[in-house]
Amino acid sequence: MMEKNAGPIQKFKAGGISAKVWKNQNDKGDYFTVSLERVYKDQKGDWKTTSTMRVNDLPRASVVLEEAFKFAVMAPEAKA
């Protein structure tokens, strides 16, 4: 039975790059997924989001992904 997910259980941010950790459940139990996102302003000045990273974004993406991985592995919920 699937539970409705209210939102991410944790968010890691470095500049305009963020990783969100989501807790999910299926018939085999709980598991985590991670979404990676970059925010930017378009030519009109409106804020937009994308999952596409520029080469210069990769160091920050690496940092937030590593933190998300540590959280998912070390979270008390992960041990259940």
Chain centroid to CA 49: 13
The whole-model pTM stands at 0.81
Average pLDDT, the chain: 90
Structure confidence by residue, pLDDT tens digits, 21-52: 999 999 998 899 999 999 999 999 999 999 99
